[in-house]
Amino acid sequence: MEWEADTVLEVTPEAGEPFIVHIEWQSGNDQRMAFRMARYDLLLCDSYHRKVMGVVIYVGEKPMSMENSFHSFGLQYTCPMIDIRDMSPDVFLSSDDPGEVILAILAGREVKLTVIREILHKLRILTAGDVAFFSEKLKHLELIAQLRGLNLQEQLIKEEETMPITIDIRKDLRYQQGVAEGVLKAKKQDALKMLEKGISLSLIEEITGLSVNEIKILQNTLKA
């Protein structure tokens, strides 16, 4: 039996044994998703001889309605399911990877015009004048925008057509300070949501980039 997972990472925590993180990006509500994840994770566990944490990140247009667990007599499996709309666009906009930056268009409960403009601005900077590379990323952005409906795609295309010449404001000190503060705040908000879902500290550290001590401080605020 062969299965191809979307994203598989090995995580080495500060304490304890390394483990595997398996992430599936899901665009539709599949009521057998927990069963599929259980099948994937058992195969990964058998292949790598590591404990496996499965995570589903939902990127679809309709509200997420999937069950996150599967039970069959003695077999029990549960995995976190995260709606990307519960994550802040700033988490993706802070990346220097164009492929990660474009995911900001799916994050947040409402797609704001300022987010679209920031994505386009960041792509201009990261592609560094490479017209072909920039055009390729715009196509990817338009395809991903379809997951939120035609209205968003039309709004995106309109912004592309009226896009001004980009100035690299990353060198401005006030811009850098503002971005750093906004990103840290967004990461902490996302970490709190993950803690509420019972996701391990090691995985939260891997996803957000926050230290274990910072995450523990946030964890204490939930207990207060």
First-to-last C-alpha distance (Å) of the chain: 48
Contact criterion met (CB below 8 Å) for 77 and 70: yes
What's the chain's Rg over C-alpha atoms?
A: 19
| pLDDT band, very low/low/confident/very high, at 118 (cuts 50, 70, 90) | very high
User: Residue 167 has what pLDDT?
Assistant: 46
Could you give the CA distance from residue 212 to residue 134 in angstroms, rounded to a whole number? 36
- DSSP code at position 105: G
Q: What is the mean pLDDT of residues 43-53?
A: 94
Global model pTM greater than 0.75: no
Task: Go through the chain and tell me how many residues it has.
Answer: 224
User: Residue 4 has what pLDDT?
Assistant: 86
pLDDT in tens, 154-213: 888 888 888 754 445 455 555 566 667 777 888 888 888 888 888 888 888 888 889 988
Secondary element (H or E) of residue 38: helix 33-48
pLDDT in tens, 5-20: 999 999 998 888 999 9
Q: What is the mean pLDDT of residues 19-34?
A: 95
Question: Pick from 86, 112, 101: which is nearest to 144 by CA?
Answer: 101
Q: What is the mean pLDDT of residues 102-119?
A: 90
